[in-house]
Amino acid sequence: MKVDRASMLLYAVTDRTWLKGRSFIDVIEEALKAGVTFLQLREKNLDYSSFLTLAREIKKVVDKYKIPYVINDNVDIALACGADGVHVGQKDMDAKDVRKIIGPDKILGVSAQTVEQAVAAERNGADYIGVGSVFPTSTKPDAETVSFETLREICKSVSIPVVAIGGINKDNAMKLAGSGIDGIAVVSAIFAQDDIAASVRELRQVASRVVNQKS
């Protein structure tokens, strides 16, 4: 499964911090059922065995909804669980090396903060670019924010899909309209909400307006 632009529309990045006693798998399924179009499993502190077990459980759910599913940073887990691909940051393994390991058919997403990083990522085999942080975010408090102008330049400089990430919610997403992005990636705007399904539906509507307003 490779990436098409439509699958970028509402890109969810998991976070178990806000489960509030709910089942992680149930929360993910609720989000997918309500209209998430792409899922990234992000786990920083799990041991390999626990991570793999979780990744396989989530894959069963994702397969039901036929949306792309990638693992953050961990190429070994991505391959072992049968995910559609992997997403790496600038401080992780080099995109060119990741592409060699995962082969031509898996999805490779790469984070970028500058035009140069984005262009290099595409040249090295990325299928899409994640740009951020576009707003201040509690998920990565030390992340530098990327300006609207830089976001727009990145979109103009690459031919692959671009998704914006970092502090995006239903109230500020429209500020990204006209940038040329193909979708928004969110964490707490879904997983920290009491009503997951309602939040997803609202975000998907906002994302559609953002993406369709190209200039």
Interaxial angle between packed helices 196-212 and 24-34, expressed in degrees from 0 to 180 and rounded to the nearest 10: 40
Please tell me the number of Cα atoms within 13 Å of 209 on its side-chain side.
Answer: 11
Look at residues 124, 68, 55 and name the one whose alpha carbon lies nearest to residue 95. 124
Rounded to whole angstroms, the Cα distance separating 125 from 128 reads: 9
Rounded to whole angstroms, the Cα distance separating 80 from 135 reads: 34
Contact of 120 with 149, CB cutoff 8 Å: no
Rounded to whole angstroms, the Cα distance separating 51 from 46 reads: 6
Contact of 86 with 73, CB cutoff 8 Å: yes
Catalytic residues: 42, 111, 140
User: 190 φ, ψ to 5°?
Assistant: -110, -60
Look at residues 150, 60, 100 and name the one whose alpha carbon lies nearest to residue 88. 100
